Amino acid sequence: MTTRRMINGYIWEDDFFLQLTIFQRLLWIGLVTVCADDQGRFTDSAAMVRSKVFPMDDIQLSEIEEGLKAIANQEGGIYL
């Protein structure tokens, strides 16, 4: 079954979201839209996240890992 997720335009006014870097914002949107399952759970594999969120980009796994840690450490962030 296909899962459809929508991101509300108010995200651009959210304190949590705006404290992230541009890369982290894009990563967060990718996590929510293509990596989360129906219960909102994420995979803990940076390689899997990279393959789903950035399939055609040359992004180092270390950048993905750093981005995931930054998102998780932000107040109001996700728990990995």
**For 26-46, how does the pLDDT look when each residue is reduced to its tens digit (9 = 90+)?**
999 999 888 888 887 888 899
**Three-state helix/strand/coil letters over the chain:** CCCCCCCCHHHHHCHHHHCCCHHHHHHHHHHHHHHCCCCCCCCCCHHHHHHHHCCCCCCCHHHHHHHHHHHHHCCCCCCC
Domain contains 17 = yes
Domain contains 19 = yes
Is the CA virtual torsion 62, 14, 37, 39 positive or negative?
Answer: positive
Domain contains 20 = yes
Domain contains 3 = no
Domain contains 2 = no
pTM of the model: 0.83
Domain contains 40 = yes
Confidence of residue 76 (pLDDT cuts 50, 70, 90): low
Domain contains 61 = yes
pLDDT of 1 over the 70 cut: no
Closest to 61 measured CA to CA, from 48, 76, 75 = 48
Q: Domain total for the chain?
A: 1
Range of the domain at 62: 9-73
